[in-house]
Amino acid sequence: MNTDERICSIALTLCPGIGHIGAKRLVDTVGSAAEVFRLRTELPERYPDMFHASVVTALDNPSAFLQAEQELEWAEKNRVECLTLADERYPSRLRECEDAPVVLYFKGNADLNRLRVVSMVGTRRATDYGKRFCADFLRDLSSLCTDVLVVSGLAYGIDVHAHRAALSNGLSTVGVLAHGLDRIYPAVHRKTAVDMLAEGGLLTEFPTGTNPDRHNFVSRNRIVAGMSDAVIVVESAAKGGSLITAELAEGYHRDCFAVPGRATDEYSTGCNQLIRDNRAALINDVADFVKAMNWGRAAESCQNIPVQRSLFPELTEEEARVVKILSRDDLHINTLVVEANIPVNRMSALLFELEMKGVVKALVGGVYHLLA
């Protein structure tokens, strides 16, 4: 990825009035951030149903470019990756979301496109019950599925306990921040953050100098939800950021799980509500989760279901690509999107066609199995 595209992507995020969805739509429509700025005066004429004259005014922002150049210089000096939508290391699951950031800043060594990605979120006022769940769940998950990336927000409570439990069990973990990478908030989590750089990393959409303001935490929740295969809400009161993340996960068609608690426990109220309203599946332990997601050894018992398959199915080039990937193992649709580099809506259509041809079978949890 050339420097010009990175600078233009950063500048696009600094233009007032564009917004997350607007920036993503501009890049998706025109092809690149650099082209967006090069063709800015022509956009209303070329795409009259999508962009108006106000977009031209918003993009005419020389100060945004000056700040973008300074931001990229800081990133390179501090060994921070600047990931644009066209970058291979950009989280592919997140890229499919309509409000995905057009640029991300990442410091660490994690593969953001790991085979399996799970986000764990919860209240900042974690109880011993929630802390123990994090420790036990990630200990057991590490023995069943080694190729897992654990994502959370490095906040007080469940977030930081999920990160620490992941590190303790040799799992890679990434913290999604609500501010720039020139600070760590809260400061008391600095040691954990430093440890994560060696076994995961820190990710943000915000440039340096950004304060950890309240609305930024809500914004970062969409990254936590969008870059994962599943979101687990460990503990939550009746209202809170974790419930927002669960709602976002539902909107992105991600699997959502919640840990149940006693009806009288304040910080289980939100989880119990999610389960009651069928907005999250109930899990008591890692066995429930792995079975629901068809991850690891739990998926093996689901593979012996006989289904009629066409003897000589005719496959398109894209279908053949999906079949080749599935020949290695049963995979979740989000993983197929990543590996095949095919948009999720197109992938859904391809998998449906392959099911009709008797080539693949859909298992529970959005996992697909290649028939023999």
CA distance 178 to 210: 8
Domain boundary among 240, 263, 293: 293
Q: In what order do the strands lie in the sheet with 360-362?
A: 331-332, 367-370, 360-362
Same domain, 145 and 262: yes
Residue 104 C-beta-side C-alpha neighbours within 13 Å: 30
Same domain, 270 and 126: yes
CA distance 166 to 148: 10
CA distance 350 to 317: 11
Q: Is the peptide bond before 91 cis (omega within 30 degrees of 0)?
A: no
Same domain, 56 and 204: no
Look at residue 348 and tell me if it is in a domain: yes
Same domain, 193 and 276: yes
CA distance 264 to 110: 39
Q: What is the pLDDT of residue 331?
A: 86
Residue for token digits 């994690």? Answer: 110
SS3 string, the chain, reads CCHHHHHHHHHHHCCCCCHHHHHHHHHHHHCCHHHHHHCHHHHHHHCCCCCCHHHHHHHCCHHHHHHHHHHHHHHHHCCCEEEECCCCCCCHHHHCCCCCCCEEEEEECCCCCCCEEEEEECCCCCCHHHHHHHHHHHHHHHHHCCCEEEEECCCCCHHHHHHHHHHHCCCEEEEECCCCCCCCCCHHHHHHHHHHHHCEEEEECCCCCCCCCHHHHHHHHHHHHHCCCEEEECCCCCCCHHHHHHHHHHHCCCEEEECCCCCCCHHHHHHHHHHHCCCCEECCCHHHHHHHHCCHHHHHHHCCCCCCCCCCCCCCHHHHHHHHHHCCCCEEHHHHHHHHCCCHHHHHHHHHHHHHCCCEEECCCCEEEECC
Give the residue numbers spanning the domain of 350.
299-370
Look at residue 143 and tell me if it is in a domain: yes
Closest listed residue to residue 193, CA positions, set 95, 108, 131, 273: 108
- CATH code, 190: 3.40.50.450
CA distance 367 to 149: 18
Same domain, 10 and 99: yes
CA distance 201 to 257: 24
Same domain, 95 and 183: no
Residues with Cβ within 8 Å of 124's Cβ and at least 6 positions away in sequence, in order, are 155, 156, 157, 158, 159
CA distance 114 to 148: 7
Domain boundary among 48, 72, 103: 103
Same domain, 277 and 315: no
Cβ atoms of 359 and 313 within 8 Å: the answer is yes
Same domain, 127 and 272: yes
Same domain, 82 and 179: no
Look at residue 109 and tell me if it is in a domain: no
Look at residue 108 and tell me if it is in a domain: no
CA distance 50 to 25: 9
Look at residue 150 and tell me if it is in a domain: yes
* Alpha-carbon distances of 224 from 91, 167, 247, rounded to whole Å: 11, 18, 12
Q: Which amino acid is at 79?
A: R
Domain boundary among 266, 293, 320: 293
Look at residue 256 and tell me if it is in a domain: yes
Cβ atoms of 248 and 226 within 8 Å: the answer is yes
Q: What is the pLDDT of residue 364?
A: 67
Same domain, 145 and 188: yes
Look at residue 336 and tell me if it is in a domain: yes
Same domain, 46 and 88: yes
**Predicted TM-score (pTM) of this structure:** 0.82
Q: Which residues of the chain have pLDDT under 50?
A: 298-312
Same domain, 289 and 303: no
**Residue 180, strand partner residues:** none
Count of domains for the chain = 3
Look at residue 137 and tell me if it is in a domain: yes
Cβ atoms of 298 and 287 within 8 Å: the answer is yes
Cβ atoms of 102 and 9 within 8 Å: the answer is yes
- CATH code, 324: 1.10.10.10
